[in-house]
Amino acid sequence: MPELGRAALILCLGLSLYAAAAGALAARERRRRLALSAQNALVAAFASAAVAAGVLLAALLRHDFSFTYVADHTSRKLPALYTVSAFWGGQEGSLLLWLLVLTGYASAAVLLDRVAAREVIAWVVPTLGVVASFFALLLVAVASPFDTQAAPADGLGLNPSLQNPYMVAHPPLLYLGYVGLTVPFAFAMGALLSGRTDERWIVATRRWTLAAWTFLGIGQLLGAHWAYVEVGWGGYYAWDPVENAALMPWLAATAFLHSVMVQEKKGMMKVWNMLLVVMAFCLSIFGTFLTRSGIVNSIHSFTQGSIGPWFLGFICLVTAGSLGLVFRRLPLLRARTRLESPVSREATFLYNNLLLVALCLTILWGVCYPLLTQALRGESVTVGRPYYDFFLRVFGLPLLLLMGIGPLVAWRKASWRSLRRILGLPAALSLALGGLLIGLGAGSSIPGLVAYTFSAFVLATIVLEFARGTRARRAVAGGGYATAFVELVARNRRRYGGYVVHAAVVLLAVGVAGSSAYQSVYETRTKALMPGDSVSVGGYRYVYRGLSQRTEGNHQELRAAFDVYRGRSYLGRQEPGKNFYFAEQQTSSEMSISSSLLTGEDRDVILNGETRQGGVFVKILIKPLVNLIWLAGFVFVAGCVIALWPDAREERRLAERYERAGALARA
């Protein structure tokens, strides 16, 4: 039923345009029923997008190859799970997912927040309508997933790299993050357009921003794990433009989540917060542009389409429009208070923001550099890993240190004596650990050693924060330590959820430092390993036993068997290999990973090539602590859930505030 899909998309476009035009007219002329009608149009646009998505999903599951999209991205032998994930495996499907998620977010945001921020919502609706119109227009006019053809006997199949369980979850989560950043952007624009730049837009978007940021974070971690197990080079982050495209809006949103606290507590940084929201949204559109346009060389660009100029035009329009609006409303965004001391909580948030934005812009420059050199000099020059690694150390290590210092510094100002007293214990502990690590030989990598020491410092401060807080709570409310601990977290979920997220970042830093600065690598270069040959790497001995082949479902597997020993102990067999996919006529590398839950270490073996005589060329990596990166993901989710969990006391306080002000009296 491609006609139904097309009709649903055209309807979605019409409804989005209506939401934009009628919403703007209603907000301008203060017409209540028209404003409600525009809100309903957004909800109806979501229903239409859902129908279009349902049509595509049904076509995928029925292997209806008369849909060009289905024939281009699936085959009859493709497992059902990957047939579903083919929905977002191609450009048209992923744009439809964008539209579906966007209209879903838009409906939920206007329905849930329409009472709390009524004047702002009136302008939020047209903003969301404009963004939805853009994506609906792309799907209707430029990249329709409902193009048809004479049905071939079988489809072309799905790119083998995408036939991985992580690819089922990674793109939707990433899109939930990217698209989720539209909500704070729309509220920020709503506040500016309505001239209501009080805290209500921040209160209304607090959870949306945190949810989008959480999804974006988890999506990236899943993507990193996918790259690690599937791409077959033994790493998890390659500073690839498309990977960077997801990191940049996350960094901007991280900065916003911190600086917004300064606005809430002190009424400062209003302009900066607006700029960060605009930046995060524009970078999320830019990320989609990079992924989908094929304008940059990337291992993640699975499609090259004609949508690049459309995206570029939209990004320019949004950036110019929103910056112009911020500039126009500058008088409303002036702070009434000033930074009282460079040694205060708000100052540490400011430093944190500067570092995050500097890192974000540095990455943006690295991503754009090949495009600029291509445009200016006619040849594309890319910046390599050393560039990114250098700036990650320059900005990332101080950020890590600030994560420990910030929570211990009081608001307004802190005396040096107080600081010395409160930082003394964690500093001493981390320095002692640093000394111990030097003794154990970790001094071979200075950045690695610094990262470990700073991580220990941050972890100590987090533990101390929880311990002191629990003790103080117990002193006030009585009861046992466990009760006091639970009450402490429950009464300030954002703060203590944030600390748990900080602990996740520490785990991530330790995992990244351990697996990159202290990894051991062996690579066969000139003479292939023959059965019976052995190599030693990182204290392990690998004995090559031979090659084997077997056919599984839609592919043929080639595997090289290695027996692994530590000293005289036999640890097991690892079988790296390659899969050849029949329908797709493509080969994928299948790395063998052996993980130790106890030490967090991975032993990775990658089959780089084989000879007719049964010899193999392999790469073996011993990656200490790499599993802490994935563990960090679980801790990150736990922290975000704590911070996102509804707080009835806070809701009551806000309701009371607006009741007091009379803002709700006539709503």
Partner 1 sequence: METAALVLGGLLAVACVVFVSRPFLREPGLPAQADRLHEPDAAEQRRLSLAEECDRALAALKELEFDHRTGKVSDEDYQELVGPLRREAAAALRALGAAGQPGRGASLPGEPEGTWSAERPLPSSRSS
Please return the burial class of 445, using the count of CB atoms within 10 Å of its CB with bins 0-12, 13-18 and 19+: middle
Give the C-alpha separation, 210 to 147, whole Å.
Answer: 37
Q: Which stretch binds partner 1 (CB under 8 A): 68-76, 260-268, 385-393, 623-631?
A: 260-268
Give the C-alpha separation, 187 to 273, whole Å.
Answer: 12
Give the C-alpha separation, 372 to 322, whole Å.
Answer: 24
Residue whose CB is less far from partner 1, 532 or 662: 662
Local structure of 378: helix, strand or coil: coil
Q: Which tokens sit at 386?
A: 């050393």
| 37 lies in the binding site for partner 1 (CB under 8 A) | yes
Residue whose CB is less far from partner 1, 385 or 653: 653
| 469 lies in the binding site for partner 1 (CB under 8 A) | yes
Nearest-approach distance from CB 467 to partner 1, in angstroms = 9
| 43 lies in the binding site for partner 1 (CB under 8 A) | yes
Total residues contacting partner 1 (rule CB under 8 A)? 62
- Out of 413, 538, 565, 594, the only residue in the binding site for partner 1 (CB under 8 A) is 413
Nearest-approach distance from CB 393 to partner 1, in angstroms = 30
Give the C-alpha separation, 447 to 175, whole Å.
Answer: 33
For 401, left (φ over 0), alpha (ψ -120 to 50), or beta?
A: alpha
| 62 lies in the binding site for partner 1 (CB under 8 A) | no
From the CB of residue 163, how many other CB atoms can be counted at a distance below 10 Å?
Answer: 24
Kindly state the helix (H) or strand (E) to which residue 244 belongs, with its residue range. helix 241-266
The one-character DSSP state at 267 is S
Site for partner 1 in 273-312 (CB under 8 A): none
| 415 lies in the binding site for partner 1 (CB under 8 A) | yes
Nearest-approach distance from CB 652 to partner 1, in angstroms = 12
- Out of 100, 285, 422, 583, the only residue in the binding site for partner 1 (CB under 8 A) is 422
Nearest-approach distance from CB 35 to partner 1, in angstroms = 6
The one-character DSSP state at 294 is -
| 264 lies in the binding site for partner 1 (CB under 8 A) | yes
The one-character DSSP state at 230 is I
Nearest-approach distance from CB 658 to partner 1, in angstroms = 7
| HSE-CB for 1 with a 13 A CA cutoff | 13
| 332 lies in the binding site for partner 1 (CB under 8 A) | no
Q: Give me the 186-215 binding string for partner 1, x by CB under 8 A, dash otherwise.
A: ------------xx----------------
| 490 lies in the binding site for partner 1 (CB under 8 A) | no
Residue whose CB is less far from partner 1, 160 or 406: 406
DSSP notation for 489-558: HHHTHHHHHHHHHHHHHHHHHHHHHHHHHS-EEEE--SS-B-TT-EEEETTEEEEEEEEEEEEETTEEEE
Nearest-approach distance from CB 64 to partner 1, in angstroms = 11
Site for partner 1 in 77-106 (CB under 8 A): none
- Out of 20, 59, 114, 118, the only residue in the binding site for partner 1 (CB under 8 A) is 118
Q: Which residues pair with 535 in a beta bridge?
A: 542
Q: In this structure, are residues 103 and 131 in contact, taking their beta carbons and an 8 Å threshold?
A: no
Q: Which tokens sit at 148?
A: 């048809």
Residue whose CB is less far from partner 1, 125 or 278: 125
| 468 lies in the binding site for partner 1 (CB under 8 A) | yes
Site for partner 1 in 630-659 (CB under 8 A): 653, 657-658
Alpha-carbon 491 to chain mean position: 28
- Out of 73, 225, 258, 266, the only residue in the binding site for partner 1 (CB under 8 A) is 266
Nearest to 404 by CA among 373, 378, 430: 430
* Residues lying near partner 1 in the complex (CB under 8 A): 1-4, 7-8, 11, 15, 18, 26-27, 30-37, 40-41, 43-44, 47-48, 51, 118-119, 122, 198-199, 264-267, 408, 410-415, 417-418, 421-422, 465, 468-469, 471-472, 475-476, 653, 657-658, 660-663, 666-667
